[in-house]
């Protein structure tokens, strides 16, 4: 899912291309995209786009006449800048917005179409779509700490809760927690003041660094690859690869439809967090350290020394059959 740095990259690319322009035609390929009825989407045709902004993980277009488009790209929604009048791709295409000199496509990979567009009138209607999370960039430590401790969650959940903080998702929460050297499963109620300060500093640094880096790398081009997995990330998407700080293999835990990637040495004092899939494999034999995990995985995959386990198939065919129970 595009998060704060990715959405700021889109705004950087879209503002010079859209502000002051008028939509000449709207083509909708997926009826599930539009989540509102009134005003109709055709009301935007001919109106100039006055501004673009971000509302959490949503991108907002403001038109003349107090009309707004509010896009939520969800996991796989993406914008593409193409030549005017291009056909909407059959499998991925959701919509096309034809402008005087180009067409902006909205696409979504995957079978589940979750991206959405709300067409609303008035700032109050836009505000009603805001989940309520505060913008972390520019936020003071005291306000950050108060919001963080307002509910007792794991740090991973607190950072990604859109009602607490705005624009942080699965990818950048991994990066923030790695930079802060904190476990994703540590509870906010047990956070020491020095740890909270580290988390605040890491949040500001990671989001600012990635926002500025993505914009600098893209320049004036339109971003063609907005992804949650980027070269240079320390933990997210790096399962099994060495931590860039200490070299320990990055581990992960899976829960619901999400996952958390972390370094045991840097973040959990060498302790492994119980992963649901591996817990099912190892049952009660769950290791507490990375060394134990490697030993037990090796032991379970090694061939048995019992003669029957390595006997050729032909020899086993002549072994006595067990009598069936009546």
Cα 123 to Cα 117: distance, rounded to the nearest angstrom = 16
Cα 297 to Cα 30: distance, rounded to the nearest angstrom = 46
Task: Name residues whose C-beta falls within 8 Å of residue 271's C-beta, 6 or more positions apart in sequence.
Answer: 264, 288, 289
pLDDT score of 187 more than 80: yes
Using DSSP's 3-state secondary structure scheme, residue 87 falls into coil
CATH number of the domain that residue 185 is part of = 1.10.8.50
Q: Are 16 and 52 in contact (CB under 8 A)?
A: no
For residue 60, what are the domain limits? 4-127
pLDDT tens column, 39-61: 999 999 999 999 999 999 999 99
In a domain, 304, yes or no: no
Q: What is the pTM of this model?
A: 0.85
Please give the residue that has the higher pLDDT: either 122 or 294.
122
Confidence at 307, pLDDT banded by 50, 70, 90: very low
Same structural domain, 138 and 175 = yes
In a domain, 318, yes or no: no
Length of the chain: 326
Q: Are 248 and 269 in contact (CB under 8 A)?
A: no
Confidence at 322, pLDDT banded by 50, 70, 90: very low
In a domain, 77, yes or no: yes
Same structural domain, 288 and 210 = no
Using DSSP's 3-state secondary structure scheme, residue 141 falls into helix
pLDDT (0 to 100) of residue 183: 97
In a domain, 56, yes or no: yes
Q: What total number of domains does the chain contain?
A: 3
Paired strand residues for 67: 63, 121
Cα 308 to Cα 326: distance, rounded to the nearest angstrom = 26
Same structural domain, 153 and 64 = no
pLDDT tens column, 225-267: 898 899 999 999 999 999 999 999 999 998 766 789 999 999 9
Smallest CA-to-CA distance from 130 within 138, 139, 120, 140 is with 120
């Amino acid at each position: 899912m595009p998060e704060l740095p990715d959405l700021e990259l889109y705004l950087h690319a879209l503002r010079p291309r859209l502000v002051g322009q008028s939509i000449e035609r709207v083509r909708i390929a997926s009826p599930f995209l539009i989540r509102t009825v009134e005003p109709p989407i055709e009301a935007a045709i001919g109106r100039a786009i006055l501004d673009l902004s971000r509302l959490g993980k949503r991108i907002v277009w403001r038109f003349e006449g107090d009309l707004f488009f509010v896009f939520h790209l969800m996991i796989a929604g993406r914008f593409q800048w193409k030549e005017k009048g291009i056909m909407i791709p059959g499998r991925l295409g959701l919509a096309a917005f034809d402008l005087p000199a180009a067409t902006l496509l909205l696409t979504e990979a995957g079978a589940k179409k979750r991206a959405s567009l709300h067409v609303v009138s008035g700032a109050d209607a836009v505000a009603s779509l805001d989940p309520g999370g505060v913008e972390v960039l520019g936020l003071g430590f005291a306000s950050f700490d108060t919001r963080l401790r307002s509910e007792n969650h794991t740090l991973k959940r607190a950072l990604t809760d859109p009602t607490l903080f705005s624009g942080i998702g699965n990818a950048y929460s991994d990066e923030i927690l790695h930079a802060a050297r904190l476990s994703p499963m540590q509870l906010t109620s047990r956070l020491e003041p020095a740890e909270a300060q580290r988390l605040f500093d890491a949040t500001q640094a990671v989001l600012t660094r990635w926002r500025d880096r993505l914009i600098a790398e893209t320049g004036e081009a339109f971003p063609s690859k907005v992804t949650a997995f980027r070269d240079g990330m320390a933990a997210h998407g790096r399962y099994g690869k060495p931590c860039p700080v200490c070299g320990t293999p990055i581990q992960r835990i899976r829960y619901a439809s999400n996952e958390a990637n972390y370094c045991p040495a840097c973040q959990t004092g060498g302790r492994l967090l119980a992963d649901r899939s591996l817990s099912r494999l190892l049952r009660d034999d769950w290791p507490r350290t990375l060394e134990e995990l490697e030993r037990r995985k090796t032991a379970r995959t090694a061939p048995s020394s019992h003669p029957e386990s390595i006997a050729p198939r032909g020899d086993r065919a002549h072994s006595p059959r067990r009598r069936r129970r009546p």
